[in-house]
Structure 1
């Protein structure tokens, strides 16, 4: 097949190479001219010339830029052509974008992509949404990107289903990472465990908690046994928030995922206001010492009732 790929960053650049390795033609566009195959979107669309094929353009850009790219593609593509949104879009936006493109008879597929920088070698897990005929048309590209073997791809349902599935995947990822992180901190705090990196490494075989995330954690500990080179700050891409919001809308309890999201918020506070309030209340009911209180009277015992 022939494919246009918009966005050649950490994910997109490797995806281009993996698709090419499978024998397909990829015309990539990026604002960095050193890695781009086209000077702009119009040039990219113009270079898609395979006879008898619809033009297929895969959009792999940050969520803030997706609407602008799709708006421009809507004016450049023709009836029957296909746009695939492989970014981390919110699933509720997919229906709107599909309807916008449908006005010009352009087809739309949403596709959640997982695999990170390791995808070039290992393949990418793909979760797509759209009508069956359109998905069938672009299956050669999906087959090129997915891992070898039976698994790694799902046509999850109608438009929006792919990004919804990827959103839930990322919510689960948040919770798994948080569990490993809490286990690490607990082992580090123990006086009897003398080799935390080897403890994590021992879990990689024969245990029920082995996973690729565990493998990555072991890699990190091999480089920095106590993670002293890192700042304890973790951002969130938005999908953890969307997972919790969807759970609220659907009345589905997701306490582990919700807690892992809030833990990331805590990581951004050098001096947590909430923990200050807890310290103040402990002082008031129990006379506990408050570290950093400038006023000595602040630590006075509470009034007896």
Structure 2
């Protein structure tokens, strides 16, 4: 399994145009899809001196992006990004293929495309044949909010950002995307698309389903007074564990649709763990329960603290 971290910038590096200039200067960068991720990319990359060209299917979003000075130009017309050197595809997973097909007739042969989708293998298989200079990507960053109104500066700082090249990915395209992504001051990684999908099924897609199930389980309380009391008493623990389950439903469906096999594998494994806990509690096997919780206490830092 080829998973490795890309070397971080030297200490004290703050991103910006100076780093990009060493690779040939500032660029024209297209952002297709002006939501949370696309808007946040535009904000940070514009601050570095790049020319940002935004594309959204809604004219109102384009007008808003210009008014907020998130992009230099914006339009629903794919011709707007025809002159871009690098284009970030920030649409929902289901719209990526159509977006690329709309763009292809207008692009220069040297243009580089990269996406930000949370599933990689099926997307890379779809898009790489449509455009040779394509690099799969996934920024592991976000908030509970969505849309351009939620876009903010610094969203990607110290967050993982994964690139998933294949044997056919041009080296120069990968290097260009990596350099621009690195300027966001994220933690940059590279791995195979299939390995990415198995990994994120555990730490991103499974938590969404588990969190949603937690909320749904609470709603099954038959007594309205008890349910209302639980809602009043819910504090930080419930907020933390239910946050991703209360997010954008479309994203959850897309995770399940495009990463079905890996997600099902993790769900079955999680169900087995729950069955084990139920058995320990039913049998009052407190020693076994203590051992299980001690193990999870010891292992959690490996997932939530930077390695």
- TM category (shorter chain) comes to 0.5 to 0.7
* Greater relative CO, 1 or 2 (CA 8 Å, sep 6+): 2
Find out whether 1:44 has 2:86 as its counterpart. no
2:261 aligns with 245
Instruction: Kindly provide the CA deviation profile for residues 64-95 of structure 1, in whole angstroms up to 9, marking residues without a partner as x.
Output: 33222212322222334211122356632422
Find out whether 1:28 has 2:54 as its counterpart. yes
2:205 aligns with 171
Distance 1:112 1:188, change over 3 A: farther
- TM-score (norm: length of structure 1): 0.55
Gaps of at least 5 residues in structure 2 are 1-25, 67-72, 273-307
The answer as to whether partners of 1:89 and 1:163 remain within 8 angstroms in 2 is: yes
User: Structure 1 stretches (4+) deviating beyond 6 angstroms?
Assistant: 186-191, 193-196
The answer as to whether partners of 2:163 and 2:190 remain within 8 angstroms in 1 is: yes
Find out whether 1:91 has 2:105 as its counterpart. no
Distance 1:80 1:177, change over 3 A: same
SS at match of 1:100: coil
- TM-score (norm: length of structure 2): 0.55
SS at match of 2:129: helix
Matched residues in 2 for 1:257 and 1:241: separation?
Answer: 19
Find out whether 1:115 has 2:142 as its counterpart. yes
1:141 aligns with 180
Matches within 5 A, 1:204-243: 213-214=240-241, 216=243, 236-243=252-259
2:109 aligns with 79
Distance 1:8 1:247, change over 3 A: closer
Find out whether 1:18 has 2:18 as its counterpart. no
Q: Which of 259, 267, 277 is 1:254 aligned to? A: 267
SS at match of 2:173: helix
The answer as to whether partners of 1:86 and 1:111 remain within 8 angstroms in 2 is: yes
The answer as to whether partners of 2:211 and 2:242 remain within 8 angstroms in 1 is: no
Matched residues in 2 for 1:247 and 1:167: separation?
Answer: 5
SS at match of 1:101: coil
- How big is the shift at 1:246? 3.6
Matched residues in 2 for 1:186 and 1:65: separation?
Answer: 35
Number of residue pairs matched by the alignment: 218
Distance 1:196 1:173, change over 3 A: same
Distance 1:111 1:258, change over 3 A: farther
Matches within 5 A, 1:128-207: 128-130=163-165, 131=169, 133-145=172-184, 147=186, 151=187, 153-157=188-192, 165-166=199-200, 169-178=203-212, 180-181=214-215, 200-201=235-236, 203=237
The answer as to whether partners of 1:129 and 1:161 remain within 8 angstroms in 2 is: no
The answer as to whether partners of 2:33 and 2:90 remain within 8 angstroms in 1 is: yes
1:60 aligns with 90
The answer as to whether partners of 1:85 and 1:111 remain within 8 angstroms in 2 is: yes
Name which one, 1 or 2, has greater alpha-carbon Rg: 1
The answer as to whether partners of 1:244 and 1:257 remain within 8 angstroms in 2 is: no
Matched residues in 1 for 2:163 and 2:126: separation?
Answer: 16
